[in-house]
Structure 1
Amino acid sequence: MQRIRAVGRAAAAKKYDILSAMMAHALAGDAQDQRLVLRLMALITTRYNWQADELSIGQREIARLWCVDERTVKRDMARLRASGWITVKRQGARGRVSVLGLDLDRILLDTRPAWSNIGPDYVARMGAEEMAPEEADRTVVPFRRADVAAAEGVWGAARAHLAAEDRALFDAWFAGLADGGIDGGCLVLIAPSRFHATYCRTHLIGRLRTAVRRSDPRLSQVRVEAGG
């Protein structure tokens, strides 16, 4: 679920804030990251429907906008999907292009380290707006917890990514998931209870897929099952 939606009376300001986060993230990266983010920002500013969260444009049109060939479009759009920034809402069929969406939650998570480059006022504003209600009620833990180091296997690496992004969320839900192996290109995770598995499938599957995909691009799916 997206925590920030650029709709309502403050829609214009929210759009600028999201684009500013992407810009700061790109400028803090290398030339390849800068080019990829700039190309996505071009799609957002010219073709993205903020209210419906829909981006509908064919590869030929993207290639013309980016001044590249369609092979480059396929490569960069695949990178954006793998990063979790772009999601496929409806797969294209004959004569119709795919309908894409933006995962604003994932974009804000990935760009957060660069927010301070914009300024403390931006950090304060975005931090307060991005916070979900359940996060605001979390009890602050006064002691430092040990870092979660990357372990062997796909899930071992994905665990480290998830812990680095949000340690409280990791401790509450991801730490209890066990590696159930890989089944037909899908990573199986075993939850300690049926409720735990249902919650992860309903609310956290997007984060799990992105972390797993970044650990091993060959895996595109995650299945959470309740343990016996």
Structure 2
Amino acid sequence: MQVAKPVGRNAPALKYDILSALAVHALSGDKHRQRSVLRITALITTRYNWRSNELSIGREEIARLWSVNERTVKREMAKLRSAGWIAVKRPAARGRVAVYEIDLKQILLDTVDVWRVIGTDFQERMQQEPAEDNNVVPFQPKPAIPPPQGEDVWAQVQEILHNRDPELWSSWFRHLNEAERAGGQVTLIAPSRFMADYIAQKWPARVLAAYARIDPSIRALRIEAAD
């Protein structure tokens, strides 16, 4: 599914659509979903930088915004990370709060069921391709590579990663293989040391979020090189 790009230069035009999708998604669920969505909405509307996709905030300040204690913040942020909605961009250090990034595209994908409730114009707007620069000559697109099919956990994780971003999956995730899954940890094998290190640095939260949807016991990830 193609989804309009929710961050960067076009983000201000999409922010109200994203907040609308979150609100209707919350209202279609139970009180637990409504509370979680209200909490992330509060972070977005009070502290989120739409252009840089950064949320700079400490646990103490989040607790104050949510009117809860810091243990509740820790638990709720872990839940949002498992859902793939939030990831740590830069961890907290002495004198500096943590910087998070919000995966708005994953939020949009997770709220797709309520798009029709908002309206057909909303559906069309959210699924449209971003405008291209008329001075750029388009290249012939490559044929789409289908994700692996199967009932095993790794095939389902691959399908989730593919649906989230087919181009990223085709370039990186499809080259991985699952070597071991035990004790809450999964080990994946990449064909090269460069690929293993790059994926481990850039997208561990996304891979773990995909696992969390199939096997919530997985909380740690290792990526090793085959060579």
Greater mean deviation of Cα atoms: 14-23 or 216-225 = 216-225
User: 1:119 maps to which residue?
Assistant: 119
Contact 2:86–2:103, Cα closer than 8 Å, also in 1:
yes
Equivalent residue letter for 2:212: R
1:221 equivalent in alignment to 2:221: yes
1:37 equivalent in alignment to 2:37: yes
Q: How many residues align?
A: 217
1:212 equivalent in alignment to 2:211: yes
Q: 1:224–1:121: structure 2 CA closer, same or farther, 3 Å change rule?
A: farther
CA shift, 1:102, in A, is 0.8
User: 1:155 maps to which residue?
Assistant: 154
| Matched residue SS, 2:52 | coil
Contact 1:83–1:210, Cα closer than 8 Å, also in 2:
yes
CA shift, 1:48, in A, is 0.9
Contact 2:8–2:53, Cα closer than 8 Å, also in 1:
no
Equivalent residue letter for 1:4: K
CA shift, 1:162, in A, is 4.7
For 1:127 and 1:116, locate their aligned partners in 2 and report how far apart those are by CA, in whole Å.
Answer: 12
| Matched residue SS, 2:111 | helix
1:58-81 CA-partner distances (Å, limit 9, x unpaired): 222212211222221111011111
Equivalent residue letter for 1:48: Y
For 1:157 and 1:40, locate their aligned partners in 2 and report how far apart those are by CA, in whole Å.
Answer: 27
Equivalent residue letter for 1:59: R
Contact 2:5–2:11, Cα closer than 8 Å, also in 1:
no
Q: How does 1:36-75 map to 2 (within 5 A)?
A: 36-75=36-75
TM-score (norm 1): 0.72
CA shift, 1:180, in A, is 0.9
TM-score (norm 2): 0.72
| Matched residue SS, 2:179 | strand
| Matched residue SS, 1:43 | helix
For 1:54 and 1:30, locate their aligned partners in 2 and report how far apart those are by CA, in whole Å.
Answer: 29
Q: Which runs of 5+ in 2 are unaligned?
A: 133-137
CA shift, 1:174, in A, is 6.2
1:16-45 CA-partner distances (Å, limit 9, x unpaired): 112122222222222211110110001110
Q: How does 1:1-228 map to 2 (within 5 A)?
A: 4-8=5-9, 10-129=10-129, 137=141, 148=149, 150-151=151-152, 154-155=153-154, 157-159=156-158, 161-162=160-161, 177-182=176-181, 186-190=185-189, 201=199, 207-214=206-213, 215-223=215-223, 225-226=225-226
Equivalent residue letter for 1:122: F
For 1:57 and 1:217, locate their aligned partners in 2 and report how far apart those are by CA, in whole Å.
Answer: 28
Contact 2:7–2:52, Cα closer than 8 Å, also in 1:
no
Equivalent residue letter for 2:179: G
For 2:187 and 2:92, locate their aligned partners in 1 and report how far apart those are by CA, in whole Å.
Answer: 28
1:105-128 CA-partner distances (Å, limit 9, x unpaired): 222222222212211111111101
Contact 1:186–1:223, Cα closer than 8 Å, also in 2:
no
Contact 1:155–1:179, Cα closer than 8 Å, also in 2:
yes
* Percent identity of paired positions between Structure 1 and Structure 2: 44
Equivalent residue letter for 2:22: M
Q: 1:70–1:204: structure 2 CA closer, same or farther, 3 Å change rule?
A: closer
Equivalent residue letter for 2:16: Y
Contact 2:149–2:156, Cα closer than 8 Å, also in 1:
no
